[in-house]
Amino acid sequence: MARALVVYRSHSGVTRHYGEEIAAFLETKGVSAKVVSVGECDMAGLSGVDYLFLGCWTSGLLIIRQHPDEPWLAFAREMPKLPSAFEGGPKVALFTTYKLATGSQFPRMRAAIAGKTSPPELELRSKDGMLSPKDDEALDLFIR
Ligand SMILES: Cc1cc2nc3c(=O)[nH]c(=O)nc-3n(C[C@H](O)[C@H](O)[C@H](O)COP(=O)(O)O)c2cc1C
């Protein structure tokens, strides 16, 4: 059975809920999925999963200068270098929640993990922490 780990950083709970939605969807597709906060994440277990979802809420000046917050950036700094998907390491996806615009959020998340994982192949975003039908489709393709 394929395994997924969903690691989130959430300030007020919306991103946690989005992570839980992602995991629940994966379970319906036969992927075993675990959800943990950045603070709970066991770094040693990261390389053993097939799919790694990294999520953080969007902070910034609403329409400019969006970035992951410091606890997420600290997590990214501490994260070990993982084998690439080609070498048997996880395929990586990013997710975020926001109110107006994600702007530089995903580029900043990508920059923080550059060289440590395979380049993320999926970016999911939500204003309300719910999976949209488009998200379902994208997830379906991602785990194929
Ligand atoms: C201090 C602060 C800054 C924010 N900056 C942005 C922003 O730049 N762009 C945006 O679209 N939403 C912004 N938001 C909205 C949050 O990204 C949004 O409410 C998110 O869903 C919160 O996720 P959480 O409940 O997981 O913490 C900001 C919220 C706060 C509290």
Rounded Cα–Cα distance for residues 124 and 122 (Å): 7
Query: Apex CA 102: angle with CA 143 and CA 92, to 5°?
Result: 25
Q: What is the mean pLDDT of the chain?
A: 97
Number of Cα atoms under 13 Å in the Cβ half of residue 28? 8
Ligand 1 contacts CB of residue 99 (under 6 A): yes
Question: Distance, CA 76 to ligand 1 centroid (Å)?
Answer: 19
Nearest to 3 by CA among 42, 35, 37: 35
Nearest CA, atom 3, ligand 1: 59
Ligand 1 atom closest to the CA of 18, numbered from 1:
26
Domain of residue 12, residue span: 3-142
Q: How many domains does the structure of the chain reveal? A: 1
Whether residue 104 has its Cβ less than 6 Å from ligand 1? no
- Which residue's CA lies nearest to atom 22 of ligand 1? 57
* Residue 7 binned pLDDT confidence (cut-offs 50, 70, 90): very high
Write the pLDDT tens digit of every residue in 53-83: 999 999 999 888 999 999 999 999 999 999 9
Q: Burial level of 96, CB count in 10 A (0-12/13-18/19+)?
A: buried
Cα–Cα distances in Å, from 27 out to 23, 49, 94?
6, 14, 18
CB of residue 12 inside a 6 A radius of ligand 1: yes
User: Looking at residue 104, which CATH number applies to its domain?
Assistant: 3.40.50.360
CA torsion, ordered 26, 28, 31, 36, to nearest 10 deg: 50
Q: What is the predicted pLDDT for the residue at 63? A: 82
Residue 98, pLDDT score: 98
Overall pTM surpassing 0.85 (yes/no)? yes
- Residues 82-113 have pLDDT tens digits of 999 889 999 999 999 999 999 999 999 999 99
| Per-residue pLDDT tens digits for 19-30 | 999 999 999 999
CA of 44 to the centre of ligand 1 (A): 30
Pocket probe for ligand 1: among 15, 66, 72, 98, the residue whose CB has the most ligand atoms within 8 Å is 98
CB 67 within 8 A of CB 106: no
